[in-house]
Amino acid sequence: MTAAEEVAVPESLVLPGVLDAGQAAATVRTILADQQADGAIPWFTGGHLDPWDHTEAAMALDAAGEHTAAEAAYRWLAGAQNPDGSWYASYTDGVPGSRAKETNFCAYVAVGAWHHHLATGDDTFLDLIWPVVRRAVDFVVGLQLPGGAVSWRQDEDGTAAPDALLTGSSSILHALRCALAMADHLEESQPDWELAAGRLAHAVAHHPERFLDKGRYSMDWYYPVLGTALRGEAAERRIADGWDRFVVDGLGVRCVSDRPWVTGGESAELALALWAVGQSDRAVEILRWIQHLRHTDGSYWTGYVFEDDAVWPEERTTWTAGSLLLAVAALGGDHATAAVFGGEQLPTGLAVVGCCEARDGTPA
């Protein structure tokens, strides 16, 4: 299907006060319009692609019923994968830009692939994508640090960064759990992944000192919830602790706590995290607020500097539209999106007992 053809969105993408059917279809068309003939989904036409945001946009296409276009996006990933299971940090028209390899970018294919399978039930696709996911997850698990967190990148010379990012590791945990769900479905036991997931979940939930301090960024606030590490009272406390620092009533979520800049992607992701822990009313409210970022064609501006009353940067990104569609889909009861981001149906990996020691000899 081309972007010019009619898009009929499922009822799960209709949310009063946020999107009606026509508006949802228009947003889907903007992602399709930016998707390239080989399946790649750049940030915008003429812009670069990164594997994480490419996958997020593909998931939104599946949530919209555009399964052929979504599969083309995963086939692009399969074709671009490096022999070691990784992808480079960015590509423009298929040509690598930065040749560094960011671990959360590489892991996220597991989230998208499992989402696609749940959306389509396509076992043939799963057989195709499983070796891709296996290589990617093995690459990422190989960069796990002694305390359970995961090195945030491998440099062009092959050197792994000695540090981890809380946002990235939270996303990797989500990917590991989706990869384990895929492995269970295929009856492909992956004990190393189970151990890695358990150690990583423990680090994210209980050891902030094992990550670089990026507390100014809203993603570090909500990603332990979005990435499924925190649920129940722990998730509620974390949401409450950061609310006043990051949420701007009527506008959305700040990207950085000390900057007057709200962004659509962070706002939609927070809405998805809120939905996952039972705060759907708040989630809907935030999605309503960020409609000020909507362009007349259905795409979404990346962000807005409210002190200057200015859109910035002047770009409308596929991943911003994609994250909003996924949040709406979860709220609307889309089975695949709810299963992947709710987390209840995902394997947890091996539990780490609090009295144990990490591999570096420090208390776990």
Amino acid at 128: L
Ranges of beta strands (E only) in 283-361 are 303-305, 310-311
Spans of all domains in the chain: 11-342
CA–CA separation, 344 and 241 (whole Å): 24
Q: For residue range 74-115, what is the model confidence (pLDDT) as tens digits?
A: 999 999 999 999 999 999 999 999 999 999 999 999 999 999
Which residues touch 301 (CB under 8 Å, ≥6 apart)? 264, 293, 294, 295, 311, 314, 315, 316, 320
Q: What is the pLDDT of residue 63?
A: 98
Please identify every stretch of the chain with a pLDDT value under 70, giving residue numbers as ranges: 1-5, 353-364
CA distances from 44 to 78, 225, 301, 318 (A): 21, 28, 11, 6
Q: Tell me the per-residue pLDDT of 170-215, one tens digit each, with 9 for 90 and over.
A: 999 999 999 999 999 999 999 999 999 999 999 999 999 999 999 9
- Domain topology for 11-342: Glycosyltransferase (1.50.10)
Amino acid 364: pLDDT:
56
Count CA atoms within 13 Å of residue 339 on its CB side: 20
Supply the pLDDT for residue 335.
98
